[in-house]
Amino acid sequence: MRSSAATVAVVGAGPGGLASAMLLAASGLRVTCFESGAMVGGRTSRVVLDAIGGGGRFGLDRGPTFFLMPYVLEEIFAATGRRLTDYAELTRLDPMYRLILGRPGDQPLTIDATQDVEEMSRRIGAIEPKDAAAFGRFIRDNRAKLDLMEPVLRSPMRSALDVVRAASPKFLPHLNAHLSVNGLLKKYFSNPYVRLAVSFQSKYLGMSPMECPSIFTILPFIEYEYGVWHPTGGCHALMLGMAQACEEMGVEIRCASAVTGLEFEGEGRGSRVTGVRTDARGLEKFDHVVVNADAAWALKALIPERLRPRSDSDSAMDAKKYSCSTYMLYLGVDGEVDLPHHTIFVSSKYEQNLRDITHGGTLSDDPSVYVCNPSKLDPTLAPEGKSAMYVLMPTPNTRESAGKIDWSGNAESVRGVVLDQLERRFGISGIRSRIQVEQAISPEEWRAGGVIGAINHGATFNLAHNLGQMLHKRVPHQYPAVDGLWFVGGGTHPGSGLPVIFLSAQIAARELCKRAGVRYAGDRLPSEQVLVRPQAALQLAGG
């Protein structure tokens, strides 16, 4: 019976590809997953650093370090008859993160964000007393907003009609399409630093809160409602657990096997994808192809322009709005680092820093920087007495910085800016002398690919999430111009970030199963199991 099932090629073993493979295999389809990198995960793979002279091995997540809304991934495991907690160990962090808010001409404000809403209200009140009570109202309003948004987040968006069908009329008052995140927060909080404390999450989308649509005030709410989690071994450990589940169900995962092209038959609306090409095996035939590579890059690199509508031509894709990029430093450091698990420094010239990134294409003199210090909690990531440090500086993408920043020629000076911030803003003295091993990734390297697939314009958070590129305006899950071709990942609806990428995989897998005439595994779950938010049994630890 299995041999007669439809065959599916998944291009990319990132979170969207692995989740799709799990769901499709559980639905009875035969799945082969192709990954260009040497390990699964894509941008959620692992950086392994070996210190010279036997100094030990350090492990760091390459991309995502925050794990939010674990119940979404639990749904995917449940659809296969498994439990996430059998494949990964999760620890809820408290504090969720530390915020260091720079202030011109004054000492920074420091606030540790806690999931305890009453305590967080008190901490906000220490900054601005009249804003304390507003925090509870903000949480209640966004709880209602997310509940009303959930059908939209879980439904395919092929046209404006799909939006209308999925959205409750009660959701319209929460839309506030004319407001940015910062604009909506002004209705709750008078203090600009309080607004920063509940709006920096726009950076998860690679956007400024001054430009990010107000609908995304749900991002900080999600953290306070469902917590911030650390998987032992980092977020890459989730990918390893998903890959294990895939292989248990018969999915063939081929790492170091880049897809160099897709095979098509027919022209125009009658065209169909029929297989994938790799250097190692040439053409292999499949009934369906699910693309989990960077969506904009994949459209340009894998699908001939003659098969795409004009709105998806190479020039049209390049002209779309894109997120920022990131400069990364992965460090193996001698000694312990006195920082919580997550620490975010917000520039003292925050609005100028955002303009430099999104419009100026330049680097700021006091840039925002994020540090993940996971080995303080997780001893699997660094040798005893040492620390693995993940350092991220948001930067312009390569389109915005073209002709303004020579990422290769200025590599040492960019590194110096980041290390200066670690000393000056994070209080890590002597950091340069403590580094035993390191690796850097610039926006240009994100653009070109290498150990993972290429990213259009080096925009690590994918297509921007402005109103003109949300919902049915993103790359569709079922590509309408080519039969049998599907997309998942941050370039599709609902957008970027691990939880919504997992939702993207659920949508695409359900639609593909419908097209293949098989029952979608996720529909076999009782509704109360699908929507459960099980967190009480998971471990809680300080960050």
Mean pLDDT of the chain: 93
Task: Measure the CA–CA gap between 199 and 517, rounded to whole angstroms.
Answer: 44
Tally Cβ neighbours within 10 Å of residue 475: 22
Confidence category of residue 52, pLDDT binned at 50, 70, 90 = confident
Least confident span in 137-141, 163-167, 239-243, 455-459? 163-167
Each domain of the chain, given as residue ranges in start order, spans: 2-91+232-320+457-530, 116-214
Q: Is the pLDDT of residue 531 over 50?
A: no
Its pTM stands at: 0.95
Choose among 420, 493, 439, 40: nearest CA to 245. 40
Q: Is the pLDDT of residue 222 over 70?
A: yes
- Measured in degrees and rounded to the nearest 5, phi and psi for residue 333 equal -120, 140
Q: Is the pLDDT of residue 440 over 60?
A: yes
Instruction: Identify the three-state secondary structure at position 426.
Output: coil
Per-residue H/E/C for 322-354: ECCEEEEEEEEEECCCCCCCEEEEECCCHHHHH
Q: What is the pLDDT of residues 245-289, one digit of tens each?
A: 999 999 999 999 999 999 999 987 789 999 999 999 999 999 999
Q: Is the pLDDT of residue 540 over 80?
A: no
The CATH number of 2-91+232-320+457-530, from 3.50.50.60, 3.40.50.970, 3.30.1330.10, 3.40.50.1100, is 3.50.50.60
- Predicted confidence at residue 243, as pLDDT, reads 98
| H/E segment holding residue 32 | strand 30-34
